[in-house]
Every structure is written in structure tokens, then in C-alpha cells.
Amino acid sequence: MKVVIFAGGRGTRISEESALRPKPMIEIGGKPILWHIMKSYAVYGHTEFIICLGYKGWFIKEYFANYFLHNADLTVDLGTNTMEIHQNNAEPFKISLIDTGLDTMTAGRLKRVLPYTNDEPFMLTYGDGVSDVNINELLEFHKASGKVCTMTAIQATSRFGVIRMQDDGTINSFEEKPEDSGTWINGGFFVINPEIKNYLEGDMDDIMWERNPMNDMAADGQIAAYRHHDFWKCMDTMRDKEELEQMWEHGAPWKKW
């Protein structure tokens, strides 16, 4: 099944890095977070990707166009203008890199790449979030649901410590960054049927995927939530990047390859 990845946003909340390259190309462990996401799908046999480009899209094009060269051992003979490849670490990826507009919103980006999905079910996620979600189980859940769309739902965690107190203000305990806030949020990792085109009619360039299309599907009872209780993390800020780097050094929970 093909995997669509949103990778066109400006990433303004991590401008320290995104001023130089697209947010999905910010590296974790020496590889772009986009690569980590693609590897997470490839583990389950999904190696065809459609990347929605926008801001600094040429950066992503050049990275994959030269991927084989950058990940190989080689000898270059300048005298004869020849190159010998000794060993390479290429991936079995087939990647369609589609320019979906500099400032196009996510619904517009998705609509622009629909022709590349060949009117077949496909998966969709964001180019800045990693997870250990079981893709096989997600697909099985989606098929059983009979819905147009399945969204992976994760429980929001607090960035701040919380206070447990009584009604009179007496503090019982402190809890640092509780893992379960009780609130389920959009974690990406969607599975979508071809009927999604009915929710993307007209000009979608100024429409957020997370607003009109998802709300319309909810109103029609056509979107389901696959509850994921394990690891998920989005790289919104430099702090997130540093935390992901630390996780990578100590055994990244999203790494299954």
C-alpha cells in the first residue's frame, strides 16, 4: 500500500533548524526524521511513498536523488572520470516527490497527490512524528471498521508537572509530566479509502485536512480512531529534537528495523 507523507510545511516552531532545511529533513541520529518514518512503514513491507513537497522541496528532492551516492563506499578516478561502487546502503524505496505548493494547506496537498494513489486505499501521515504503531494491526482495524478513514489516536502527555490537591488546596502529591492526560488527540498514521475524494471537492488549497474534511467525515460517521497506547512523539520544537536524539542514543522506541 502506498504511503503519503505531508512534508511541505514551514516548521516555524523549530526555525533554528527549519530556516536551513525543511522540517522533515531535520536529522535524528544522523538521518532525517522523514527517513525514520519511512523505515517504520518499510518494516511492514510498505515501501512506496508519495511525499507532499512545499517549503524548500528541492532539498528533499536532492537528498533522495543522491541517496545512493551518499550512502555508498566508492572510489573516484578523476583522471578517467570514472567511479567504482564498493558497497552501498540503499533502501528499497520507490518515492514520488510531488510539488504541492509553497503555502498550500494540508487538504490541498492531499488532493493534489490523489492521482498518484491510483484510486486505491492508501496510508497518510505527517513528516515530523515517529511512533511504534503496529501498521498491520492498524490496517486490520481499518478494514474491520468499514469507514472511509481511520486515524491513529494517541493520548496527549503534559509538558509540565501537575499538582494533585484536595478541594481546600491541600497538596497531596506532585507528578512530573503525566503519561496519560486522559485526552485523545490526532497522532497521524491514517488509513484512507478512495472515497476520500468526496470530501476533497472544490478548491482545497486554503483548507486544513484536520478541519473541514475530518469534521465532515465525523459528521457522516466515516472516520474511526485506532487507539495507540505506546510510543508516539512529534518533533515540534528544538526541545523535542533533543529528546528524540537522546532516545536514539539509548535505543529508540520507534526503531523496529
**Domains of the chain as residue ranges with CATH:** 3-249 (3.90.550.10)
Across 33-61, average pLDDT: 98
> Is pLDDT at 210 greater than 80 in this prediction?
yes
Q: Residue 154 is placed in which grid cell?
A: 494517541
| Cα distance between residue 123 and residue 114, in whole Å | 12
Given a contact cutoff of 8 angstroms between Cβ atoms, the answer to whether 8 and 23 are in contact is no
Q: Provide the sign of the torsion angle of the four alpha carbons 18, 91, 137, 244, taken in this order.
A: negative
Q: Which of 83-87, 178-182, 243-247 has the lowest mean pLDDT?
A: 178-182
> Is pLDDT at 178 greater than 70 in this prediction?
no
Beta bridge partners of 122: 192
Q: How confident is the model at residue 182 (pLDDT cuts 50, 70, 90)?
A: low
Q: How confident is the model at residue 176 (pLDDT cuts 50, 70, 90)?
A: low
Contacts for 98 with CB less than 8 Å, ≥ 6 apart: 50, 51, 52, 53, 112, 113, 116
Given a contact cutoff of 8 angstroms between Cβ atoms, the answer to whether 47 and 2 are in contact is no
> Is pLDDT at 75 greater than 90 in this prediction?
yes
Q: How many CA atoms lie within 13 A of 98 on its CB side?
A: 22
Q: Is the pTM of this model over 0.85?
A: yes
